Amino acid sequence: MAERPIAVVTGGAGFIGSHMVDLLVSRGYAVRVIDNLVGGREANLKHHGSGAEVTLDRRDIRSLAPDDSLFAGTRFVFHFAGIGDIVPSIERPSDYMSTNVQGTVAVLEAARHAGARKLVYAASSSCYGLAETPTREDHPVQPQYPYALSKYQGEQAVFHWGKVYKLPVNSIRIFNAYGTRSRTSGAYGAVFGVFLRQKLAGKPFTVVGDGTQRRDFIYATDLATGFLAAAETDRSGEIWNIGAGKPQTINRLVELLVGHATYIPKRPGEPDITFADITKIGRDLGWAPKVSFEEGVGRILAEIDYWREAPLWTPETIADATKTWFRVLSGERQG
């Protein structure tokens, strides 16, 4: 029996990373996961059959050595690890730069020394800021907060390693990812985790603004197929947007989740709409989203108990968690 090809997934016990692991296992890969389990769950890797080869290394990516044995013999590296909560980046910018930039450099060095055939970086559409839509890959970059800056600088490091060290790399700028296993712990974050816990508690959904803002929600399994295509292609040095290309209002999400809403103040620095132009990824990789928004929300609701232990956010606790955000991004000078 031929040896299985090896893939490394950083952040592979987390939300998107664990779906990437699922896809790789289904395609016959031996998968090595590195995840410090701050945001991920070991349980996210426990549902594979007995024949699956999935190993978990519980380390921070910043601890990786250039010749780290975890990367030995790897074909592909999928880099998802990092700090993903947006709001706290205003208060903890150094942590974000350290993990999302220096951590990325550590992964790049390990991939380079291992002779990986391709590294695919999970970038963020937040680099575009308050963008014109639909947003193409050549849109000007204008990060509005430290999380966005850190993810963009990580991407710049990726392409620098591609240029200087000839490491084959591609980057995918993710729009609004959602799906089962999205993060449940930590700071105030993505809308799905907040709403699902509120639904379980019988509380109203805390809708930012009037709920007419639209987000380009893309389901996690569709993301995984896009990342695999970006690894398997002969192309390198490319950036692709990935989204569904069909922005949905937050009010529509409330309808699908079936509940009542309470409205909280709109936040400065956040766009009214995110909308990925996915022409390029479709043309170059033959990729297209398959999971409709309605189907994706239905899959999440079928597993809603996953969020039972998540923090329960209220208008009051959200106001407290975002007060620095409002102060900084409203234009006040910071000492």
CATH 3.30.565.10 for domain 6-329, yes or no, is no
Residue 51 pLDDT class (50, 70, 90 cuts): confident
Residue 334 has pLDDT above 70, yes or no: no
Single out the residue of 70, 74, 148 nearest to residue 106, CA to CA.
70
Confidence (pLDDT) at 331: 72
Residue 322 pLDDT class (50, 70, 90 cuts): very high
Confidence (pLDDT) at 188: 60
CA 274 to chain centre: 15
Q: Which residues are catalytic?
A: 147
Confidence (pLDDT) at 183: 81
Q: What is the pLDDT of residues 270-310, one digit of tens each?
A: 899 999 999 999 999 999 999 999 999 999 999 999 999 89
Q: Are strands 248-249 and 214-215 parallel, antiparallel or unpaired?
A: antiparallel
Count the neighbouring beta carbons within 10 Å of the beta carbon of residue 334: 7
Confidence (pLDDT) at 215: 96
Q: What is the pLDDT of residues 68-91, one digit of tens each?
A: 999 999 999 999 999 988 889 999
- Looking at the chain, the number of H-run helices and the number of E-run strands are 11, 13
Confidence (pLDDT) at 123: 98
85: its two tokens: 């909560």
Q: What is the pLDDT of residues 239-266, one digit of tens each?
A: 999 999 999 999 999 999 999 999 999 9
Q: What value does the mean pLDDT take over residues 138-162? A: 97
**Cα–Cα–Cα angle for 28, 57, 309, nearest 5°?**
95
Confidence (pLDDT) at 235: 98
Mean of pLDDT over the chain: 94
Residue bearing the bigger pLDDT, 49 or 101:
101
Residue bearing the bigger pLDDT, 136 or 330:
136
Q: What is the pLDDT of residues 183-195, one digit of tens each?
A: 876 666 679 999 9
Q: What is the pLDDT of residues 195-235, one digit of tens each?
A: 999 999 999 999 999 999 999 999 999 999 999 999 999 99
Q: What value does the mean pLDDT take over residues 95-118? A: 98
Coil, helix or strand for 255? Answer: helix
